[in-house]
């Protein structure tokens, strides 16, 4: 087992790890806190505008270098980065659990999955084909080629510190782009470990750059900057809309991976035990801080009582604690803001008449632990039914007809993920056709593999972070027509 200690985290600009340059008297920084103990475990360097200028210059130079590296060479370097990540997985996972809170087993899965994502994009980078279009006249030659968009500015959150970053950085690298990534200030060290793997694998200086600081200052500076050609953001819908508006004002290409409020529908003919088992597992992964987490449980009235009893029992047996300890199923929330949000959503529901089946409170007063919570008998205006909870809260509602449940699934402006449990192919087909969502998963939770599209519609954003679609975001299409003289 790894005994790695938590490192201080620096900026990575032009191939060098460094402190932020001076803001007034001293380099700016912030403490990094372990959410399980509330102890300060490290210090994070903050970028000033001067540092961002350095990162921009480095990324511009990095792009000029990297776009000329043959795809086959890029592939070899990326595959090496994946192997380095695998070799270091035990240390990185421990560091991730210390800063983010998730159980060590989940951190390990995330780190190893990141290596798979790099491998997949490395392969995909070798398969960027153009095409030849039949001309309308003799002596004309028409081709379509794909070129990297250029310098990418990426913004990633704290819930999957490596995974959110590796999708963006690897697709950009595979396409031949350079990138400046503003990583998650709450959980910076595991994200930094990813960049160290790219560096040690031989990605040239300036091609990948990692900065931290005040998120709004960094996005306001990078998005309009003429060197930046592409914006990609993962985070809340509120912030996503602000950044997309800014990008639009400067005609920048954008990918937005935003919030969701996924319906999880258990139809009358579902395998009940299977649904309880899988939904209780999926719901509390990363303490519910997952954009595709099932969050609006809708259960057919004939199964409702049995489902609520079975689900509540499964939840009550769940061990909550420090993610480094053996047997812990759910760790703390990432910061005190998430505790405040869980308390406010629970109090609102209960005050409006909901029944608290289990949970509902913070656990202890040290560490950001919150009980896995099940709520029933909710009125339609309960905030939890309308706002993304991003935490371990489960509202369960009964439904009577397929029409009603499809209408409920589509009622909110979100459209990221939707789940259904049914043994009927016809119901599964109907659900997947009529539910407005970027991703649909039936009788299991099969999302987020490297090779499958990952993204939302409506207020959940646009663009994809997986599959061949993810590469599209980092290439321009160029049409060339030549008349032979
Ligand atoms: P938040 O909106 O303050 O921050 C979410 C992320 O966006 C963070 O990484 C933050 O650094 C970044 N961010 C915030 N303002 C920014 C700006 N102006 N420019 C650039 N980046 C900016 O919320 P929070 O309290 O950290 O997290 C809670 C909410 O965020 C959740 O309710 C959830 O909706 C959303 N969230 C979504 C995801 C996801 O995977 N889609 C991940 C994390 C958080």
DSSP string of 234-296? Answer: ES-HHHHHHHHHHHHHTT-EEEEE----EEEEE-TTS-HHHHHHHHHHHHTGGGG--TT-EEE
d(CA 477, CA 480): 10
Residue whose Cα lies nearest atom 21 of ligand 1: it is 215
> What CATH number is attached to the domain comprising 158?
3.40.605.10
pLDDT digits (tens, 9 = 90+) for 316-336: 989 999 999 999 999 999 999
Locate 266 and state its tokens: 């258990």
Spacing, Cα 63 to ligand 1 middle (Å): 28
Secondary structure class of 481 (helix, strand, coil): strand
- Whether residues 247 and 313 fall in one domain: no
Name the token pair of 225. Answer: 């900057």
Residue 426, Cβ neighbours under 10 Å: how many? 8
**Residue 219 in contact with ligand 1 by CB distance below 6 A:** yes
Rounded to the nearest integer, the mean pLDDT of the chain is 97
CATH number assigned to the domain comprising residue 338: 3.40.309.10
Q: What ipTM was reported for this prediction?
A: 0.96
pLDDT at 143 over 70: yes
Instruction: List % helix, strand, coil for the chain (3-state, nearest 5).
Output: 40, 25, 35
pLDDT in tens, 63-119: 999 999 999 999 999 999 999 999 999 999 999 999 999 999 999 999 999 999 999
391 Cβ contact partners less than 8 Å away, ≥ 6 residues apart: 287, 288, 289, 333, 338, 341, 342, 345, 370
pLDDT at 1: 76
Q: Which residue's CA is the closest to the ligand 1 atom numbered 32? A: 390
Same domain, 279 and 326: yes
In this structure, the answer to whether residues 140 and 174 fall within a common structural domain is: yes
Do 233 and 283 have their domain in common? no
Whether residues 73 and 206 share a domain: the answer is yes
Q: Separation of 155 CA from ligand 1 center, angstroms?
A: 9
Distances, alpha carbon 75 to alpha carbons 81, 152, 177, 255, 457, in Å: 10, 19, 13, 24, 31
Rounded Cα–Cα distance for residues 463 and 438 (Å): 10
C-beta 258 within 6 A of ligand 1? yes
Statement to judge: residues 280 and 133 lie in one domain: no
* 191 belongs to a structural domain: yes
Residue nearest to atom 19 of ligand 1 (CA): 216
Average pLDDT over residues 329-352: 98
Co-location of 193 and 218 in the same domain: yes
Q: Best of 47, 99, 156, 157 to mutate for ligand 1, by most ligand atoms within 8 A of CB?
A: 157
Asked if the model's pLDDT at residue 24 lies above 70, the reply is no
Same domain for 295 and 203, yes or no, is: no
Question: Closest residue (by CA) to atom 42 of ligand 1?
Answer: 235
Tell me: do 127 and 217 sit in the same domain: yes
Nearest atom of ligand 1 to the alpha carbon of 389: 32
3-class DSSP state for residue 209?
strand
Q: How many A from CA of 236 to the centre of ligand 1?
A: 5
Question: Atom 17 (ligand 1): residue with closest C-alpha?
Answer: 216
- Read off the pLDDT of residues 156-168 as tens digits, 9 standing for 90 and up: 999 999 999 999 9
Of 177, 141, 131, 181, nearest in space to 161 by CA:
181
**Is any atom of ligand 1 closer than 6 Å to the C-beta of 34?**
no
List residues with catalytic annotation.
257, 291
460 lines ligand 1 (CB under 6 A): no
Instruction: Convert the pLDDT of each residue in 186-245 to its tens digit.
Output: 999 999 999 999 999 999 999 999 999 999 999 999 999 999 999 999 999 999 999 999
Q: How far is the CA of 259 from the centre of ligand 1 (A)?
A: 9
Cα 19 from Cα 171, distance rounded (Å): 28
Q: Are residues 250 and 268 in the same domain?
A: no
The residue whose CA is least distant from atom 20 of ligand 1 is 215
Would you say the CB of residue 184 lies under 6 angstroms from ligand 1? yes
Q: Are residues 254 and 268 in the same domain?
A: no
The residue contributing the CA closest to ligand 1 atom 7 is: 235
Which of 363, 419, 355 lies closest to 391 in space, CA to CA?
A: 363
Q: Are residues 252 and 294 in the same domain?
A: no
**Confidence band (pLDDT; 50, 70, 90) for 25?**
low
What is d(CA 174, CA 450) in angstroms, rounded to the nearest whole number?
A: 13
d(CA 339, CA 289): 12
Residue 341 alpha carbon, nearest atom of ligand 1: 32
Question: Whole-prediction pTM value?
Answer: 0.97
pLDDT at 293 over 90: yes
Q: Does residue 30 line the site of ligand 1, with CB under 6 A?
A: no
> Is 2 inside any structural domain?
no
**Residue 429: pLDDT band with limits 50, 70, 90:** very high
Q: Is the CB of residue 337 below 6 angstroms from any atom belonging to ligand 1?
A: yes
pLDDT band at 246 (very low <50, low <70, confident <90, very high): very high
Between the CA of 306 and the centroid of ligand 1 the distance, in Å, is 36
Nearest-angstrom CA–CA distance, 173 and 171: 6
C-alpha span between 163 and 111 (Å, rounded): 8
Beta-bridged to residue 244, according to DSSP, are none
Residue 390 in contact with ligand 1 by CB distance below 6 A: yes
Q: Which residues form the domain of 41?
A: 11-258+461-479
Contact of 208 with 154, CB cutoff 8 Å: no
Residue 484 lies in a domain: no
The domain total for the chain is: 2
CB of 124 within 8 A of CB of 132? no
Contact 266, 360 (CB under 8 A): no
Q: How far apart are CA 80 and CA 74, in angstroms?
A: 10
What residues contact 390, with CB distance under 8 A and at least 6 apart?
259, 288, 289, 293, 338, 341
State the number of CA atoms in the 13 A half-sphere of 144 facing the CB.
Answer: 11
What distance in Å separates the CA atoms of residue 430 and residue 244, rounded to the nearest whole number?
Answer: 33
pLDDT score recorded for residue 23: 63
CB contact at 8 A, 267 and 424: yes
Contact 380, 415 (CB under 8 A): no
Residue 434: both structure tokens together:
């009529």
Beta-bridged to residue 440, according to DSSP, are 418
Three-state SS at 140 = strand
In a domain, 456, yes or no: no
Ligand 1 centre and the CA of 235: distance in Å?
A: 4
Tens of pLDDT along 361-417?
999 999 999 999 999 999 999 999 999 999 999 999 999 999 999 999 999 999 999
Greatest distance between any 2 Cα atoms in the chain: 81
**Ligand 1: distance of its center to the CA of 390 in Å?**
11
Q: Are 47 and 213 in contact (CB under 8 A)?
A: yes
Q: Which of 186, 218, 235, 414 to mutate to test the pocket of ligand 1 (most atoms within 8 A of CB)?
A: 235
Give residue for tokens 């697709």.
171
Instruction: Find residue 173's DSSP bridge partners.
Output: none
- The answer to whether residue 3 sits within a structural domain is no
| Residue 6 placed within a domain | no
Cβ–ligand 1 contact at 454 (below 6 Å): no
pLDDT at 27: 72
Q: Which pLDDT score, from 0 to 100, does residue 91 have? A: 98
CA of 37 to the centre of ligand 1 (A): 23
């Amino acid at each position: 087992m790894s005994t790695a200690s938590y490192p201080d985290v620096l900026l990575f600009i032009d191939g060098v790890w460094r402190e932020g340059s001076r803001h007034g008297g001293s380099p700016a920084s912030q403490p990094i806190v372990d959410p399980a103990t509330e102890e300060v475990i490290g210090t994070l360097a903050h970028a000033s505008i001067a540092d961002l200028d350095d990162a921009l210059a480095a990324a511009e130079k990095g792009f000029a270098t990297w776009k000329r590296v043959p795809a086959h060479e890029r592939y070899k370097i990326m595959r090496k980065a994946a192997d380095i990540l695998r070799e270091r997985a035990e240390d990185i996972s421990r560091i991730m659990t210390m800063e983010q809170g998730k159980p060590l087993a989940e951190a390990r899965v995330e780190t190893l999955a990141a290596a798979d994502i790099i491998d997949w994009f490395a392969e995909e980078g070798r398969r960027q084909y153009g095409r030849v279009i039949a001309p309308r006249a003799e002596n004309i030659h028409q081709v379509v080629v794909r070129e990297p968009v250029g310098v990418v500015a990426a913004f990633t959150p704290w819930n999957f510190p490596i995974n959110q970053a590796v999708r963006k950085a690897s697709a950009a690298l595979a396409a031949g782009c350079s990138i400046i990534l503003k990583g998650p200030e709450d959980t910076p060290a595991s994200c930094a470990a990813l960049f160290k793997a790219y560096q040690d694998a031989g990605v040239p200086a300036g091609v990948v750059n990692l900065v931290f600081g005040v998120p709004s200052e960094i996005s306001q500076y990078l998005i309009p900057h003429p060197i930046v050609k592409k914006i990609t953001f993962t985070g809340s819908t509120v912030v996503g809309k602000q950044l997309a508006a800014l990008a639009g004002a400067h005609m920048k290409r954008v990918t937005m991976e935003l919030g969701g409020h996924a319906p999880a529908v258990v139809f009358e003919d579902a395998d009940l035990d299977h649904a309880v088992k899988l939904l209780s597992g999926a719901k509390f992964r990363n303490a519910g801080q997952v954009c595709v987490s099932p969050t609006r449980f809708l259960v057919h009235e004939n199964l409702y009582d049995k489902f609520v009893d079975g689900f509540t029992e499964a939840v009550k047996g769940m061990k909550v604690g420090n993610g480094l300890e053996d047997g812990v199923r759910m760790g703390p929330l990432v910061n005190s803001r998430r505790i405040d949000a869980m308390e406010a959503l629970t109090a609102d529901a209960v005050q409006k008449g909901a029944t608290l089946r289990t949970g509902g409170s913070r656990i202890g007063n040290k560490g950001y632990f919150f009980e896995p919570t099940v709520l029933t008998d909710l009125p339609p205006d309960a905030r939890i039914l309308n706002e993304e909870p991003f935490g371990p809260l489960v509202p369960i509602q009964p439904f009577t007809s397929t029409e009603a449940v499809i209408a409920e699934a589509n009622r909110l402006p979100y459209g990221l993920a939707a789940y259904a449990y049914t043994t009927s192919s016809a119901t599964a087909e109907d659900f997947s056709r009529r539910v407005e969502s970027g991703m649909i998963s039936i009788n299991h939770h099969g999302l987020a593999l490297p090779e499958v599209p990952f993204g939302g519609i409506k207020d959940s954003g646009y663009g994809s972070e997986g599959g061949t679609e993810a590469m599209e975001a980092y290439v321009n299409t160029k049409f060339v027509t030549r008349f032979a003289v």
